[in-house]
Amino acid sequence: MLFSEHLHHSVTVTALTLLVAFWLVLYAYLKRKISTSAFIGTLILGVIILLTFGFKFGYAGVLVLLAFFLSGNLVTKYKYNKKAMLGVAEGNKGMRDINNVLGNGLSPLIFAVLYAVPVSSPSHNTIFLLGFSGAVATACADTFSTEIGQAEGNPRLITTLKKVPVGTNGGISLPGIGAAVLGSCLISLVGLTFWVVLQIPTRTILLLSCVCLLSGFLGCIMDSFLGATIEDKSFYKRTSQFRLNKHHVNILATLFGGILAILLGYYLGLQTQS
């Protein structure tokens, strides 16, 4: 009976979360905040996250993605006209497309799939939930840093600390750094929904949240470093020329943030079985 009640509660919470998430994403699409490709891509990403995390953690994964989706769209509008005058605003009046979805969502998806892969026991290693959270925290930190930092800061190149024009790849500023902490903190707080499900000490939950916050922030710093060193640089393949754009850099940075979260989790002994 207790198991049946718990399952019913999980299904109800998941259904309500999905319903709210769907209508919010649909609203963003109807308001032309995201393109058709981004709308479809976001829905597919949400469904895969739900399937890989299952009823126990699925709603938490969707909530984390939803928090990033909503806050990212909000900060994009922050002093948009000023950023447009500077030539650094997101194109199409801030509308996001499938490239944004892949750039920020591919790495979290990888960690979600890894969570679903059976290991030596029937349970799944929740360390990949930490990787998922760290990847999304990186994406959120980078979005906050870019959108707020470009509107407020006087950037310096991360590799030389020399002043550079607003919008320069790899440019950082104090407002941008503060915004990165805020964005990562947001995801680490929403990500608490992962850990409260587990019967673990409060101290461990706080450590997991701190790992997520730190990984997201350092992942954002890595994004800036990659932006300064390899973004828009040409790489020659056998038959063609390949150029890394900002979406490629986002994938690498979010992957770094997720892996860093996992490594920190292992170092602190935070790996548990769900």
Residue 100 contacts residue 73 (beta carbons within 8 Å): no
pLDDT tens for residues 208-219? 999 999 999 999
* pLDDT computed for residue 199 by the predictor: 76
pLDDT of res. 123: 47
Q: Which segment, 19-28, 48-57, 191-200, 250-259, is predicted with the most confidence on average?
A: 250-259
CB of 251 closer than 8 Å to CB of 102: yes
| Side-chain-side CA neighbours of residue 6 (13 Å) | 6
- What is the C-alpha separation between 186 and 184, in angstroms, rounded? 5
CB 259 within 8 A of CB 109: no
Largest CA-CA distance found in the chain, in angstroms, rounded: 65
Neighbours of 146 (CB within 10 A): 27
Share of residues in the chain with pLDDT > 70 (%): 88
Q: Is 125 helix (H, G, I), strand (E, B) or coil?
A: strand
| Vertex 261: Cα angle to 256 and 267 (nearest 5) | 125
Residue 8 scores a pLDDT above 70:
no
Amino acid at 77: K
Helices 36-76 and 127-152: crossing angle in degrees, nearest 10, is 60
pLDDT in tens, 98-148: 999 999 999 999 999 999 887 655 445 788 999 999 999 999 999 999 999
Neighbours of 254 (CB within 10 A): 32
Q: Which of 52, 88, 46 is nearest to 69 (CA)?
A: 46
Strands 156-157 and 171-172: antiparallel
Structure tokens at 225: 């470093």
Q: 133 and 261 in contact (C-beta within 8 Å)?
A: yes
Cβ-contact 89, 45 below 8 angstroms: no
Cβ atoms of 134 and 215 within 8 Å: the answer is: yes
d(CA 103, CA 20): 24
Rounded to an integer, the average pLDDT of 236-244 is: 65
* ∠ Cα 239 242 244 (to 5°): 165
Averaged confidence pLDDT in the chain: 86
Distance CA 155, CA 202 (A): 39
Kindly report, residue by residue over 157-192, the tens digit of the pLDDT.
999 999 999 888 999 999 999 999 999 999 999 999
Return phi, psi of residue 268, to 5°: -90, 0
Whether the predicted pLDDT of 198 surpasses 90: no
What is the pLDDT, as a whole number, of residue 255?
97
